[in-house]
Amino acid sequence: MGQGDYRILHEAALRDYLAGLPELRALLGGEPAAWAITEVGDGNLNLVFIVKGTRGGIAVKQALPYVRLVGESWPLPLSRAHYEYLALSRQAQLAPGLVPALLHHNETLALTVMELLEPHIIMRKGLVAATPYPRFADDITTFMARTLFFTSDLALTAAEKKEAIAAFAGNHALCKITEDLIFTDPYRIAEQNRWTAPYLDALAAALRDDMELHVAISRLKLKFMASPEALIHGDLHTGSIMVTESQTRVIDPEFAFYGPMGFDVGAVLANLLMAYFASAGHERSPGERHAFEGWVLETVEQVWAGFAGKFLDLWRAGASGDAYPVSLFAGEKGAARLEAERQAYMQRLFTDTVGFAAAKTIRRIFGLAHNIDFELIEEPKKRAVSEARAVRLARGMMVEAVAFRTIADVTGAARKLRDWQPELSG
């Protein structure tokens, strides 16, 4: 089947298509004509349908041959559905229970059917509503530690790793979106940029003129392009995570490829930090969200500590990959030296994480894609204040990443900026 057989399945065609798949039909239950089909895609790229029958429900995701947010003028290859399917399959093996179950995939239609996550909501929405998620830190750190460790040189032979890198190499159109929208455009004049004007006009101009920042973002961009450390999710913000109080599910790995681990970890931290800075903008009375904000910063700390601890434990439990062969670290002295090197490895990864977290923050304030953490702050001036605080932290994290030695340095800096009053334009 060539790409010529692709067609967009709107409601009626989707109903017919699903009716022809006995397993899904049984899972849904009842007559196809009675199934409730709702388009719910609020992302930027795809169609997403929820289908409910008398017995159960499913989620159906179909890639469009263009960027949904922008339209047909911005084409985007359907092959991303293939890479998403590949990544989701691998994540399901490595982190069972932390991604939606895969029920069906049709490569030609760029269509994937998954378990319906109910009553999960997009985590970002919960954070805007000041909802703490007590399971989140433990779950997301398990997800990241396992998906990153087991696809890295610590767990794979060099041959397996090269083949795996090659298997995702074709997903470069999705990588390019990241390269442009995160690592380039926010730092120059670009048509798609936007920010909370006029209040952040001077700050936007300052970033465009900040050559230390441009060097730092360019180093991160190069690392993103040419450091295939592990199979990363590639878009691990709080809009790609669905939660209940007791469950966490990571969705939408269509940006997956072999890249730097710090990009995933940094994405989680950045989105928590943005939720923290946005929180002041959502309070109706001073201090109303104080407990929530405390939970957010505690979670930032737990995410790094939990990730690092679990990753190290997997490494200590036995690394079957070609990196750091145990035969070179025999005996007590060898074991001690290897353990010190593991700590150094995590410190380097922490520095990467700090830098990528900063990059993920700045793009949400000056680039094309914003997030509701800030966008739902109705009063623009208040929004600009929250955003300026986040940018101040991010600028420091990017330019002086190594100065942040521990995650407490990050949360400490964030706490200090909680009530900082930036100078605004306009």
Which residues make up the interface to its own copies (CB under 8 A)?
Answer: 153, 158-159, 161-163, 165-166, 169-170, 172-173, 175-176, 179, 184, 187-188, 211-212, 214-215, 217-218, 221-222, 225-229, 257, 322-325, 327-330, 333-334, 337-338, 341
The DSSP H or E segment spanning 47 is strand 46-52
- The rounded radius of gyration (Å) of the Cα atoms in the chain is 22
- The minimum distance between CB 88 and its own copies, in angstroms, equals 21
Give 153 or 301: the residue with its C-beta nearer to its own copies.
153
Min dist CB 324 to its own copies, Å, is 5
Residue closer to its own copies, measured from CB, 26 or 206:
206
Nearer to its own copies, 172 or 418 (CB): 172
Any idea what the Cα angle at residue 239 is, between residues 236 and 240, rounded to 5°? Answer: 45
Nearer to its own copies (CB atom), residue 1 or residue 211: 211
| Least distance CB 205 / its own copies (angstroms) | 13
In the complex, the smallest distance separating the C-beta of residue 316 from its own copies, rounded to whole angstroms, is 16
Cβ count near 173 (within 10 Å):
13
Alpha-carbon span 173 to 83, nearest angstrom: 11
Specify the residue, 133 or 258, whose C-beta has the smaller distance to its own copies: 258
Least Å from the CB of residue 102 to its own copies: 25
Give whichever of 54 and 157 is closer to its own copies, judged by the CB atom.
Answer: 157
Does a cis peptide bond (omega within 30 degrees of 0) precede residue 286? no
Q: How far apart are CA 337 and CA 330, in angstroms?
A: 10
Min dist CB 227 to its own copies, Å, is 7
Q: Whose CA is closest to 234, among 246, 243, 225, 247?
A: 225
Residue in 89, 118, 8, 372 with CA at minimum distance from that of residue 253 = 89
Other beta carbons within 10 Å of 340? 10
Kindly tell me which of 187 and 263 has the beta carbon lying closer to its own copies.
Answer: 187
Amino acid code (one letter) for 17 = Y
In the complex with its own copies, the residue whose CB is nearer, 166 or 291, is 166
Smallest gap from Cβ 163 to its own copies, in A, equals: 6
Omega into 119 within 30° of 0, i.e. cis?
A: yes
Where helices occur in 121-185 by DSSP H, the ranges are: 123-128, 136-149, 158-168, 172-181
Q: How far is the CB of 222 from its own copies (least distance, A)?
A: 5
Neighbours of 130 (CB within 10 A): 18
> What separation in angstroms does the CA of 308 have from each of 141, 343, 353, 417?
8, 9, 11, 26
Neighbouring CB atoms inside 10 A of 293's CB total: 21
Q: How far is the CB of 417 from its own copies (least distance, A)?
A: 26
- Our CB check for its own copies shows the closer of 18 and 216 to be 216
Terminal Cα distance for the chain, rounded = 57
Q: Which of 60, 44, 63 is nearest to 52 (CA)?
A: 60
Rounded distance, CA 8 to CA 62, Å?
8
